[in-house]
Chain A
Amino acid sequence: MLLYFLLFTWMPILVMAAISLTEWNIVQWPPTFVGLDNYVSIVTDPYYHKVVRNTVVFGLSVLVLEMGTGFTIANLLNEKLKGRAIYRTVWYLPVVISGAVLAQVLLVFIYPARFGAFNSLLIALGFEPVIWTRSDFWMPFWVVMFSFWRGVGRSVIFFLAGLQSVDPALYEAGQVDGADRWRLFRHITIPQLAPVTFFVFVTTLVGSLQIWEAPLVLTFGGPNNSTRTMVYSMYSDAFGNLTMGMAAAQSMLLMIVLIVLSGINLRYVRPRG
């Protein structure tokens, strides 16, 4: 088991580190050693600047949306409500569905120009319809919205789990001291949720920096590379352009960031005792 784990979890990273120092089209043997040239390209080439910028902008947008919504909805769901289980289930549903398949279905709402639901809404409100698929402002917007829609249920569930493990005695003590709802929320709920919030922050960021589904099956990185994220760029460099070295170098950079993030997180998700 240890051997298997080493072979399929840590060895790939070594393989990738080695490939990232080469120029290789996967067929020729051996690969050509080029040192750090690939990394230099990522730092200097405006094309890769755009890819990195997209990744960061998408990642942070999704992070803010998912955390804000997740926190709010979880607090509402934590109230005594009729049909709470139904609301909770609805929020979690998109998480269990295939993102790669649903990303394609998103196309229907924005295309073709006259039929998509969003354009119908615009027309009904008296605006001009927008050709979403050609706009390098709107396609990134839809990619972010799709990732948000698909992933927000996770953060709702984790926040809810955190809320439900807050000791009810704290609230009772607060009430005895005459605190109103707002003060209970401000001085008990928020500090008690700090560890969960940190956990959700890191895991959501790790996920949202790896957005790939919508770019891969819906936009192909376009229009004008505006939806090209690092994971998609890695895929297209490796299997489209057959530049394994560039793909590996990008993966390495992103992986270092993610491993550092998760490493910090792991300290907090230690086994109890």
Chain B
Amino acid sequence: MTAIGRRPAWLSFGIYAVLTVTSLVILYPLAFMLLATFTSTERYYQTAFFPIPDTFDLHNYTAILTDCSQGCITYSIGLTAVRAVWYIGWAMLVSVLGGYVFARLTFPLKNALFLFFLTGLMVPPLLTTLPLYIMLARFPLVGENDVWGQGGHGFVNDWPALGIVGLVNVIALFLVKQNYEMIPGDYEEAARVDGAGTLRAIFQIYLPMLKPVLTAVAILEFVAVWNDYLWPLIIVGGNKDITPVALTVQRLIYAYTQRQAETVADFPLIFAAATLMSVPTILVYLGLQRYFVQGLVGVGIKG
């Protein structure tokens, strides 16, 4: 990209050397994890720095996938997939319609209102888990609660708790609005002349042009939902029937680690669970990373 003149050979060599060595360090735990899943337990305990695979089959993975001790993991995967679709759908709907409203329409207090939404970025989600938990637990008239939110369990350990918090994604709204503003208004005017209404202009004219940023939004949302751990732990931790995948895998790993009281821990099995958990987000990221980097650059950090 920049290439500030020609590099002397020693510098090129240095850059490649540093990058290669540091990349290997970053990759080491992941490579270790992957290789270990194809190593027998006995063999694993003989190796120090790198497990040398000797069983090239998927028995560790099938063992994980059929383990229902912490709630069936295949069910958790399905549940998380549905949850991801639900959250991605909302993020897109809100940001496509909201982005249009804030980028194209004019109404009183528009900028003030948008700035108010942006303040949502300042509130760290991790720290509002506690009051949100209490709000959902004391929600009036659900889960045997009375009008004052007393007496029952509210939404706690119930499936709606996994789908009502965090549906408005402010970052997505911000990114999509930025992208609307980069599209010239001529397209919409031309469509209007041809008799298209607002919704039609949004979905037929703008939507195709918003594809890169919406893909970025979808990736961010998928990774967030797939890895979501603390909120499910708090809000549905007591109900094994509806645990999302991150929680189930974490519990499996914990259970496998504790087993070492009776025998040695089956680390290849533990690694298989962690790999299974990591593969989907890695694949999604690898497949769509072109849009992802574009989307991040679109944040437009201006001094």
Interface residues of A (CB under 8 A from B): 1-2, 4-5, 8-13, 15-16, 19, 26, 29, 73, 76-81, 86-87, 89-94, 96-102, 104-109, 115, 117, 120-121, 124, 149, 152, 157-158, 161-166, 168, 171, 175, 181, 184-185, 194-196, 198-199, 206, 210, 212-213, 216-217, 231, 234-235, 238-239, 244, 247-248, 251, 254-255, 258-259, 262-263, 266, 268-273
* Chain A residues within 8 Å of B174, by CB: 271
Which 9 A-B pairs have CB atoms at the shortest separation, nearest pair first? Answer: A195-B303, A120-B48, A12-B131, A262-B122, A15-B131, A100-B229, A98-B227, A16-B131, A12-B128
Interface centre among B29, B130, B257, B296 (most CB of A within 10 A): B130
- CB of B5 to closest CB in A, whole Å: 6
Rounded to whole angstroms, the CA-CA distance of A224 and B19 in the bound complex is: 38
Residues from chain A with a CB closer than 8 A to the CB of B229 are: 98-101, 213
| Cα–Cα distance between A77 and B15 once the two chains are bound (Å) | 9
Contact indicator A101/B278 (Cβ below 8 Å): yes
Task: Determine if B271 and A255 form an interchain contact, defined as CB atoms under 8 angstroms apart.
Answer: no
- A259→B48 contact, CB < 8 A: no
- Given A12-B131, A109-B29, A121-B49: A273 and B19 within 8 A (CB)? no
Q: For the complex, give the distance between the alpha carbons of A89 and B4 in Å.
A: 23
Q: A10-B123, A108-B267, A108-B271 are in contact. List 12 more A-B contacts (CB 8 A).
A: A12-B131, A73-B19, A79-B2, A79-B7, A96-B282, A101-B250, A101-B253, A109-B32, A120-B49, A164-B2, A175-B5, A184-B4
B1, A272: Cβ atoms under 8 Å? no
Given the interface pairs A9-B120, A98-B227, A244-B130, the reply to whether A158 lies near B296 with Cβ below 8 Å is: yes
Q: Does B58 contact A (CB under 8 A)?
A: no
Tell me how many residue pairs across A and B have CB atoms closer than 8 Å: 250
Q: Given A120-B49, A262-B122, are A19 and B131 neighbors across the interface (CB < 8 Å)?
A: yes
Decide if A4 touches B167 in the complex (CB within 8 Å): yes
B128 partner residues in chain A, CB cutoff 8 A: 9, 12-13, 16, 251
Instruction: Please measure, in the bound complex, the distance between the C-alpha atom of A19 and the C-alpha atom of B223, giving whole angstroms.
Output: 32
Q: Which single residue of chain A is at the shortest CB-CB distance from B151?
A: A29
B84-115 contact mask (Cβ, 8 Å, vs A): 1 or 0: 00000000001000100000000000000110
Is the beta-carbon distance between B130 and A238 smaller than 8 angstroms? yes
Is B181 within 8 A of A104, CB to CB?
no
Interface of A: prevailing SS: helix
A98-B277, A239-B234 known; A210-B2 Cβ under 8 A = no
| Number of interface residues, chain B, beta carbon within 8 A | 86
Q: How far is the CA of A158 from the CA of B298 in the complex (A)?
A: 11
| Nearest CB of chain B from residue A151's CB, rounded to whole Å | 12
Q: Pick from B191-199, B201-209, B210-218, B285-293 the stretch touching chain A.
A: B285-293
Instruction: Determine which residue in A1, A78, A195, A234 has the highest number of CB atoms from chain B within 10 A of its CB, and name it.
Output: A1
Q: Are A5 and B168 in contact (CB under 8 A)?
A: yes
Is B166 positioned at the interface, with any CB of A under 8 Å from its CB? Answer: yes
Q: Which of B247-303 contact A (CB under 8 A)?
A: 249-250, 253-254, 257, 267, 270-271, 273-274, 277-278, 281-282, 284-286, 289, 293, 296-297, 299-303
